[in-house]
Structure 1
Amino acid sequence: MKKLTTLAASVVLAGISGAAYADNVLVVLSDADHLDLKNGQVFSTGFYLNELLQPVKLLLDAGHRVTFATPGGKAPTLDRSSVDKMYFNNDAAELERYQALLAQLKITSPEESPVISLTRAEQMGLDRFDALYIPGGHAPMQDLLASAPLGRVLTHFHEKGKTTALVCHGPIALLSTLPDANGFVGQLATKGQASAQSGWIYAGYKMTVISNQEEELAKGLLGGGAMKFYPQTALQQAGGQYSSNTSPWTSHVVMDRELITGQNPASALEVGQALVKRLKR
């Protein structure tokens, strides 16, 4: 009850009033604060500030409710490299406004975070949620891609045809619905490729995720390390119909049935706009 009360207070702090709509959006983040790389190296990461808050602010401004969750109910970690005005049209004042919103929502505070576990969200009843949003940062590559609770949550949204939006590295979470997500991910990590599995609920869906080209351009961020595999390759091998903007770091959003996916940080705002538009229907 304390966490739910804190969440309600966070929404008030964000300035929500006079809602024309009252949908409840489940926002799922990773529990992880790092990504395991090849050869035992580790990369400190988390969620990207703009990828989380640009869509969340649009949702709150439209009067929707937002419930934050992670697999284990831990406060998520902000990737400090994302606290940069380049993700906010090089506008320092805009960056400060989003930092203030993050502070108001308190989701990264271990003592005050309103974040619940995915198991708790299931106990509350997934029917109470009208849409799902998963932002990126490298952290989803650590845990969301094979999270059994997330697989169940995504399956519910798929079966009900409820809007499911993901951006940048976030779409890797779709792998959690594979019949053997751990086996598929293990093959990718050790062999660089994985055997196709029948029964993936997103097989044949048009989708995007951060491109292999962009991963190569950004690999300097890993401090000399290397990722075990790239999400584009993973989703393609799982059976997704991948597309990307050939001009790196520019917005690209793909919509197919209930699914909305965005390619990179520059796509977050457009993904949020598409999500809000869907809810207005």
Structure 2
Amino acid sequence: MENGTNFSTGNHPVETYVPMLHMKDAGFKFDVATEHGSSVCFEMWAFPKKDENVNIFHEEMKEIMSKPKKLSEIASLNDYSAIFIPGGHGAMINLPFSKELGRLLHLAHDQSLPTVTLCHGPGALLSTAADGLGKDFVYKGYKIMCFTDKTDKFTPSVGYLPGAMPWKCQETLEEKGIQVLNSSESGKVYQDRELITGDSPDAANNLGILAAPILVEYANKYKM
């Protein structure tokens, strides 16, 4: 955090699993990749223990989540119908600065491959201009939904975070030319070209509903 406090974080389980369940029901399978191939970390305090579908899916995905690929191992996106980047504050740690993720997002952009993300996940879009990649930010002019800096500023006062965020997700995206449409979080989602975004965990179900048929359409058009 900005005050030097360490905070155990990761991906938000609702933001991860609920959209994936919609994609699974649409017939898709998943590869999971992290920057260094380390296991996926979740903000388990947010796990929906009473949601039977999420609990079953979590068990199904445990092995692949514990042994993901490295981003560098994915040479092309020819076998994929989407990139999905869930949120959680963990998405702001290394992904926005990852040359390997930036490389893949440039490929996705060039192929109009559906790119799905929500809450703090859109911060990872900054990787398209990561130091050393030598490329420009590709989402200038795009409109998105994401978690707002206003809410991030408020959350330490209620104990959600132990301090202020070390950098501002919304502000940094807007400085790069993205237009953030929401001023608060209410479960809204939005599609702008290949980019499909949601504003918060409350948007997880709506994001899956919006994204799944778009992925099916893309797969039928380009992967059949």
Q: What is the TM-score of this pair, normalised by structure 2? A: 0.88
The answer as to whether partners of 2:114 and 2:195 remain within 8 angstroms in 1 is yes
Name the SS of the counterpart of 1:260 in structure 2: strand
Among 97, 103, 107, which residue is 2:59 paired with? Answer: 103
- Report % sequence identity: 33
Tell me if structure 1 keeps the 8 A contact 2:38–2:67: no
Code of the aligned partner of 2:108: F
Task: Count how many residue pairs are aligned between Structure 1 and Structure 2.
Answer: 215
The answer as to 2:193 corresponding to 1:226 is: no
Q: State how far apart, in whole Å, the 2-side matches of 1:243 and 1:143 are.
A: 25
Secondary structure at 2:160 match in 1: helix
2:80 matches 1:129: yes
Q: Which has the larger radius of gyration?
A: 1
Instruction: Point out where structure 2 has 5 or more consecutive residues left out of the alignment.
Output: 218-224
Residue in 2 aligned with 1:241? 179
Letter in 2 for 1:221: Y
Deviation (angstroms), 1:100: 2.8
Alignment of 1:252-267 (within 5 A): 252-267=188-203
Unaligned stretches of 5+ in structure 1? 1-36, 86-91, 183-197
Instruction: Give me the TM-score of the superposition, normalised by structure 1.
Output: 0.71
* Conserved? CA contact 1:204–1:239, under 8 Å: yes
The SS at the match of 2:137 is coil
CA distance in 2, matches of 1:272, 1:72: 27
2:161 counterpart letter in structure 1: L
* Structure 1 position 135, deviation (Å): 0.3
CA 1:179–1:216: 2 relative to 1, 3 Å = closer
Paired position in structure 2 for 1:209: 146
The 1:199/1:273 distance shift into structure 2, 3 A limit, reads: same
Query: In 1, distance between residues paired with 2:81 and 2:24?
Result: 14
Aligned to 2:73: 120
Q: Give 3-state SS (helix, strand or coil) of 1:200's partner.
A: coil
1:40-71 deviations in Å (ceiling 9; x for gaps): 21111011111000011111111111111111
* Shift in CA distance, 169/161, structure 1 to aligned 2, threshold 3 Å: same
2:216 maps to 280
Q: Describe the SS at the equivalent of 2:7.
A: strand
**Residue 200 (1) aligns with residue 137 (2):** yes
Q: Kindly state the Cα deviation for residue 179 of structure 1 after the two structures are TM-superposed.
A: 5.4
Q: Residue 146 of structure 1 aligns to which amino acid in structure 2? A: F
Structure with bigger RCO (C-alpha 8 Å, 6+ apart): 2
8 Å contact 1:77–1:108 — kept in the other structure?
A: no
- Equivalent residues of 1:146, 1:181 under 8 A apart: no
